[in-house]
Amino acid sequence: MGLAAMVAQQGDSRTMTTRILTGITTTGTPHLGNYAGAIRPAIVASRDSDADSFYFLADYHALIKCDDPLRIQRSRLEIAATWLACGLDIERVTFYRQSDIPEIPELTWLLTCVAGKGLLNRAHAYKASVDKNLAEGEDADAGVTMGLFSYPVLMAADILMFNANKVPVGRDQIQHVEMARDIGQRFNHLFGAGREYFVAPEALIEESVATLPGLDGRKMSKSYDNTIPLFGSAKQLRDAVNRIVTDSRAPGEPKDADSAHLFTLFQAFASAEQAAAFRADLAGGLAWGEAKQRLFELLDGELAQAREHYNALMQKPGEIEDMLQAGALKARRIATPFLGELREAVGLRSFREQVQVAGAGKKKAVKAARFVSFREQDGSFRFRFLSAEGEELLLSRPFADPKAVGVVTARLLAQGADALELRADEGAQFTLWLDGECVADSPAHATPEALEAAMLRLRAAVAALAE
Ligand code: TRP
């Protein structure tokens, strides 16, 4: 089953889109195993109309494992070019670099303050380092940075920042997704006052995706030095294929496809008919040299066009930069206002509103309705008016400067609830007017009764706050 089909099968996607998010740590150069195991299935999944996909270069994570700036820089570029060359459609998906989203490290801190140290002590990557140190008679934390220790919190911020429902990852990352869920739920519990700021993400493991064997038959991995390059030259591809280890059966001797990892590699890229024909020919005594030639042709056919695209992109890094900047803008249209709400939730609020709320009496301060102002990506300022329960009652129109927000909110309170000028339009919304100018809109409501009730709630909230 494809990734997209799995998402659909796991439900909750009938009416709503499912947000899929995954990060790629930028330390290496992608090889054929990465392509079959992660890149190809992700790109296929992103074409599903129910999917709202977020893919990003986890370059802050890369810094945890690598202190070679040149390697970091080269890997980010190569990985970006690889995904684009393989057909990622940046109009459809949101494709960005983690390090272009300053809201992510900011959220990391908010989450760090609710994540239990005991929880992080149990993270596999950290535990493996500790076990290794102890086995070698070293101090338990020798060589362990805070980056490594806090790795799951940064990853939780990646996931929770965009409220991802499904997170496609390898098995080694399941624990991190579960930690993200724990940390998000804890935040909701502490600060949500009934509101679920964060949805609970789930790891998505694609069973059917090929784990490719490398040249020597072990899992293809850079750490085994047994990889086949993805976008090397055709000659490099041919040389790698020629180095695939086979048994010593001579040409003419029957060969068993199932015990040959060369066949496993072939099958990952072939149609069912091609694989069946290859299997039959091996059984009929096809020479290994000939078999390698066929595998080379198959791979070259699959990759040649993307390789050309890749090489063209690598010649124009400025264009890749532009695409990633556009992706960051798109991502921050979600991240910036959401982080504003989270700051608000934990008590990092403007003093301008504090004066109003304090006027309502200290005890009430926590539970009162409130104005939340935030800055839009285009530099303008807006506010939301939230009820004590956290319901959004109004979203303002944009203002050029933050002072205007303060002036408008102060005047609304000074006017009092009954004087608020609300206009219900034909549709499902109402608007708020001040001096003949529309200053804010309500959310959409399903029925005229719901609209009426929302107006009453707004007046009640303003009245309570203005007291
Ligand atoms: N840690 C992941 C890995 O090494 C990469 C990653 C970082 C990630 N942030 C993420 C994956 C968020 C999914 C979601 O594979």
Res 252 pLDDT > 90: yes
Asked whether 23 lines ligand 1 (CB < 6 A), one says yes
The number of the ligand 1 atom at minimal distance from the alpha carbon of 24 is 5
- Specify the residue with its C-alpha closest to ligand 1, atom 8: 23
Q: Cα of 152 to ligand 1 centre, how many Å?
A: 9
- Specify the residue with its C-alpha closest to ligand 1, atom 4: 25
Q: How far apart are CA 233 and CA 466, in angstroms?
A: 71
Res 306 pLDDT > 60: yes
The number of the ligand 1 atom at minimal distance from the alpha carbon of 58 is 7
Q: What is the DSSP string of 327-379?
A: HHHHHHHHHHHHHHHHHHHHT---HHHHHHHHHT-TGGGGTS-EEEEEE-TTS
pTM > 0.75:
no
Quote the percentage of the chain above a pLDDT of 70: 93
Q: Is 219 helix (H, G, I), strand (E, B) or coil?
A: strand
Asked whether 108 lines ligand 1 (CB < 6 A), one says no
Long-range Cβ contacts of 350-358 (<8 Å, 24+ apart): 350/406, 352/406, 352/409, 352/410, 353/409, 356/409, 356/410, 356/413, 356/465, 357/465
Mean pLDDT of 134-148: 97
Asked whether 173 lines ligand 1 (CB < 6 A), one says yes
The number of the ligand 1 atom at minimal distance from the alpha carbon of 164 is 14
Residues with Cβ < 8 Å from 244, sequence gap 6 or more? 215, 261, 262, 265, 292, 295
Asked whether 167 lines ligand 1 (CB < 6 A), one says yes
- Specify the residue with its C-alpha closest to ligand 1, atom 7: 23
| Residue 389 · residue 457 · CB < 8 Å | no
Residue from 3, 22, 107 to probe ligand 1 pocket by mutation (most atoms less than 8 Å from CB): 22
Q: Cα of 162 to ligand 1 centre, how many Å?
A: 14
Residue from 173, 178, 179, 205 to probe ligand 1 pocket by mutation (most atoms less than 8 Å from CB): 173
Q: How far apart are CA 81 and CA 108, in angstroms?
A: 28
The number of the ligand 1 atom at minimal distance from the alpha carbon of 170 is 15
| Residue 383 · residue 372 · CB < 8 Å | yes
Task: List Cα–Cα distances, 112 to 59, 156, 188, 347, 395, in angstroms.
Answer: 19, 10, 14, 16, 30
Residue from 59, 65, 158, 165 to probe ligand 1 pocket by mutation (most atoms less than 8 Å from CB): 158
pLDDT confidence of residue 366: 54
Termini Cα distance of the chain: 60
Residues with Cβ < 8 Å from 173, sequence gap 6 or more? 155, 167, 203
Residue type, 52: D
pLDDT confidence of residue 4: 47
Res 7 pLDDT > 60: no
Task: List Cα–Cα distances, 29 to 40, 229, 315, in angstroms.
Answer: 16, 8, 17
- Specify the residue with its C-alpha closest to ligand 1, atom 13: 22
Res 403 pLDDT > 50: yes
Asked whether 159 lines ligand 1 (CB < 6 A), one says yes
Write out the two tokens for 148. 């490594």
Q: Cα of 117 to ligand 1 centre, how many Å?
A: 20
Of the pLDDT bands very low, low, confident and very high (cuts 50, 70, 90), residue 8 is very low
- Specify the residue with its C-alpha closest to ligand 1, atom 10: 23
Of the pLDDT bands very low, low, confident and very high (cuts 50, 70, 90), residue 288 is very high
Asked whether 77 lines ligand 1 (CB < 6 A), one says no
pLDDT confidence of residue 351: 87
Q: Cα of 125 to ligand 1 centre, how many Å?
A: 13
The number of the ligand 1 atom at minimal distance from the alpha carbon of 158 is 12
State pLDDT tens for residues 149-203: 999 999 999 999 999 999 999 888 999 999 999 999 999 999 998 889 999 999 9
Write out the two tokens for 264. 């496993």
State pLDDT tens for residues 91-130: 999 999 999 999 999 999 999 999 999 999 999 999 999 9
Residue from 60, 155, 160 to probe ligand 1 pocket by mutation (most atoms less than 8 Å from CB): 155
Q: Cα of 39 to ligand 1 centre, how many Å?
A: 14
| Residue 253 · residue 285 · CB < 8 Å | yes
- Specify the residue with its C-alpha closest to ligand 1, atom 11: 23
Of the pLDDT bands very low, low, confident and very high (cuts 50, 70, 90), residue 419 is confident
Q: Cα of 172 to ligand 1 centre, how many Å?
A: 10
Of the pLDDT bands very low, low, confident and very high (cuts 50, 70, 90), residue 148 is very high
